[in-house]
Amino acid sequence: MGVGRVCTGFSADWPSSSFPPSAQPPAETTSTSVTQTVNGSHEFKISGYSLSKGMGIGKYVASDMFTVGGYSWAIYFYPDGKSLEDGAAYVSLFIALASEGTDVRALFELALLDQSGKEQHKVHSHFGRNLEAGPYTLKYRGSMWGYKRFFKRTALEESDYLKDDCLSIRCSVGVVKSHTEGPKIYEIPVPPSDINEHFARSPVFMAQFFGPMKDSNKECIKVEDMEAPVF
């Protein structure tokens, strides 16, 4: 068995570093730029489609505003189209930035929902080509993304997208957000040492440190049958 030593005072020689005492090791730090999208969607139902026809080219019906990525958006549907040159032959569909903002980068998807149960929606998506062309940038409030010739009107009126004079449109938005992350520091909580409590429970230590067994000329006391690493 080993012999341990309990000292009332001590000094320690720390291992020497490979760097001179006055020098600090070179600092190495890292950071990461993270770019991702904040996604959301809104479904816009147009009831009484036939009554909206004839309102005029460039005239629209708009959804309520909805929020994605900290910005407000709205869907604009043009029953007679948005372009004079098409002569009301197509319906137009757009998504617009409805709140203040400059150079808002986002991905979009506009879908005319199939109401027959076949799930054959008519989809125009910017998400699928984001790696090819990158996100779309809306410069200011009122900027739009969409299609002047979204659907030929005669084809729309004969399709399963129109049911009971009602259309359903779903718009998905992915707002591009970027931030920089620094190094992560993980801390492991270490409980405080309870060695003093163990000392306090020992009548032998009590006598050796404070009682009649105390030797005022000694700074260290030999502890029999205890290995030094215990301390």
> Domain containing 207: what range?
194-225
Assigned domain for 107 exists: yes
One domain, residues 131 and 199: no
On whether residue 217 sits in a domain, the answer given is yes
Q: For residue 16, is it within any domain?
A: no
Residues 166 and 112 in one domain: yes
Q: 3 CB contacts (<8 Å, ≥6 apart)?
A: 222, 223, 224, 225, 226
Q: Is 48 helix (H, G, I), strand (E, B) or coil?
A: coil
Q: Domain for residue 160, yes or no?
A: yes
CA–CA gap between residue 221 and residue 210 (Å, rounded): 12
CB-based contact 162:153 (threshold 8 Å): no
For position 127, what pLDDT does the model report?
83
Identify the CATH number of the domain in which residue 89 sits.
Answer: 2.60.210.10
- Evaluate whether residue 154 is within a structural domain: yes
pLDDT tens for 123-139 read 998 887 656 778 999 99
Do residues 113 and 209 share a domain?
no
- Looking at the 3D structure of the chain, how many domains does it have? 2
> Residues of 27-37 as b/e, b for ≥16 C-beta within 10 angstroms?
eeeeeeeeeeb
d(C-alpha 152, C-alpha 110), whole Å: 16
Specify whether 136 is located in the same domain as 46: yes
Residue 167 sits in the same domain as residue 63: yes
- Please tell me whether residues 139 and 210 are part of one structural domain: no
Residues 162 and 49 reside in one and the same domain: yes
> What pLDDT score does 164 carry?
96
Q: In terms of domains, do 116 and 203 share one?
A: no
83 and 109 housed in the same domain: yes
Same domain, 156 and 55: yes
| Beta carbons of 78 and 60 less than 8 angstroms apart | yes
60, 149: one domain:
yes
Whether 17 is covered by a domain: the verdict is no
Are residues 161 and 212 both part of a single domain? Answer: no
Render each residue's pLDDT in the chain as its tens digit; 231 residues. Answer: 454 444 444 444 445 555 555 667 777 888 899 999 999 999 999 999 999 999 999 999 999 999 999 999 999 999 999 989 888 899 999 999 999 988 999 999 999 999 988 889 999 988 876 567 789 999 999 999 999 999 999 999 999 999 999 999 999 999 999 989 887 666 667 777 666 665 556 666 666 666 666 666 666 666 666 666 655
Q: What is the pLDDT of residue 14?
A: 45
Cα(231)–Cα(218) distance, integer angstroms: 19
Alpha-carbon span 198 to 194, nearest angstrom: 7
